[in-house]
Amino acid sequence: MNTSTSPKAVKVLSSALLLIATSTYADTFGTLGNEFTIDFAEIGNPGNPNDSGAGGGSYSSNFGGVGYAYRMGVTEVAQDWVTRATASGLAHVTSGPWGSNQPATNVSWYDAAAFVNFLNTSTGHQAAYNLDFTSSWTMQLWNSADAWQADGENLYRHRESFYFLPNENEWYKAAFQKNDGPTPNYWDYATGSNFAPVAVASGTLDGTAVYQSLTPADVNLAGGLSSYGIQGQGGNVWEWQESSFNGTNDSPSLGRTIRGGYWPNNEVHLRSSDRTLFGPATSVNNIGFRVASIPEPSTVALTLAASSLLLIRRRRSIA
């Protein structure tokens, strides 16, 4: 009996897997004259474990395990996106003081969550966060029936939201996991290396990051990429994580994690082991954020197709 896979099947499988590994998507938001686009990269290899130091580097922290595929914003959120979202209906969010293509800062965790809610509701999706604004932002937890349940109950995020702030595991994986399958292998830095990146003021060269600098760079000039094609997760500005610092996400008032370091820091704050926290109402000029999302439906279908081809190949080999 023939135990090999046909060349045509191998070619289709290889093409499908390559597309999954390199897929990027540009989602458009805003009203006429105030449109803006966010680029997302697919973060695959679902089911990878947390970082336990198996990547050969010197630093690690016990994060990064994600049981599902998702998408991560390629860059930090730019000031211009907040300006255009505000002109399109986003309310009670201010940011600054940087230029239009530099990171949106002076945003509290609540402000960042409100921006994400706008992305959802303006495109016909469920708001991610149960926010209310009177004289200031407040947030209620979702009940268990409405809360996100993948990888454990998350009472901050609604289960039907399409866009959301990345939780700490999602952010960590996109920054440090080696993108070599669902493995425990991680890099020390978000530039695909165990060596500290070269400090630059701006640019996109591999192995560089914006730190030991005087100001943040434009979000699309914030250094080299992670293994998943994500820019600026080390340096430029600190980034809000969705997660509380203790990971429970069971109280609105808990301090939220920030990661990545910012432009004048030394390389210590760019390491995978470095994290700190601020209260969710904190608003300072060195903390920004980025957006994550569930996968595009077409990507899910493609993943299933590739998995089916792998199964066919495996069955033929066994036969």
- pLDDT of res. 307: 39
Domain 24-295: what homologous superfamily? Answer: paralog of FGE (formylglycine-generating enzyme) (3.90.1580.10)
User: Cα–Cα distance between 204 and 149 in angstroms, integer?
Assistant: 37
User: Cα–Cα distance between 127 and 307 in angstroms, integer?
Assistant: 32
- pLDDT of res. 297: 64
41-45, 292-296, 299-303: segment of lowest average pLDDT: 299-303
Q: Does the pLDDT of residue 15 top 70, yes or no? A: no
Q: Where are the domains of the chain?
A: 1-23+297-319, 24-295
State percent of the chain over pLDDT 70.
86
Q: Does the pLDDT of residue 319 top 60, yes or no? A: no
Residue 108 neighbours by CB under 8 Å, 6+ apart: 137, 280, 281, 282, 283
User: Cα–Cα distance between 191 and 226 in angstroms, integer?
Assistant: 4
Q: Find, among 280, 179, 299, the residue nearest to 230 by Cα.
A: 179
User: Cα–Cα distance between 208 and 203 in angstroms, integer?
Assistant: 8
Q: Find, among 94, 164, 98, the residue nearest to 136 by Cα.
A: 94
101-110, 136-145, 195-204, 290-299: segment of lowest average pLDDT: 290-299
State percent of the chain over pLDDT 90.
85
User: Cα–Cα distance between 104 and 87 in angstroms, integer?
Assistant: 15
Burial 25-55 (b: 16+ CB within 10 A, else e): bebebbeeebebebbbbbbbbbebbbbebeb
In this structure, how many other beta carbons lie within 10 angstroms of the beta carbon of residue 274?
17
- 80 is written with which tokens? 């211009």
Preceding omega of 97 cis (within 30 degrees of 0) = yes
- pLDDT of res. 310: 38
Task: Give ∠ CA 289-71-230 in degrees, rounded to 5.
Answer: 60
Q: For residue 123, what are the CA distances in angstroms to 30, 84, 118, 163, 246?
A: 9, 15, 8, 10, 32
213-219 mean pLDDT? 98
Number of Cα atoms under 13 Å in the Cβ half of residue 118: 24
| pTM for this predicted structure | 0.88
Q: Does the pLDDT of residue 4 top 70, yes or no? A: no
Q: Does the pLDDT of residue 11 top 70, yes or no? A: no
- pLDDT of res. 23: 76
Burial 74-90 (b: 16+ CB within 10 A, else e): bbbbbbbbbbbbbebeb
Q: Does the pLDDT of residue 3 top 90, yes or no? A: no
pLDDT tens, 231-270? 999 999 999 999 999 999 999 999 999 999 999 999 999 9
User: Cα–Cα distance between 233 and 177 in angstroms, integer?
Assistant: 12
User: Cα–Cα distance between 221 and 14 in angstroms, integer?
Assistant: 32
pLDDT tens, 305-315? 433 443 333 33
Contact 307/69 with Cβ under 8 angstroms?
no
Q: Does the pLDDT of residue 1 top 80, yes or no? A: no
Q: Find, among 101, 113, 63, 94, the residue nearest to 275 by Cα.
A: 63
Q: Which residue has the tokens 């999602």?
A: 170
pLDDT tens, 150-181? 999 999 999 999 999 999 999 999 999 999 99
Number of Cα atoms under 13 Å in the Cβ half of residue 306: 18
pLDDT tens, 49-96? 999 999 999 999 999 999 999 999 999 999 999 999 999 999 999 999
User: Cα–Cα distance between 172 and 170 in angstroms, integer?
Assistant: 6
Contact 146/139 with Cβ under 8 angstroms?
no
Residue 133 neighbours by CB under 8 Å, 6+ apart: 91, 92, 114
Can you name the residues that pair with 210 across neighbouring β-strands? 200, 235
Q: Does the pLDDT of residue 124 top 80, yes or no? A: yes
- pLDDT of res. 24: 84
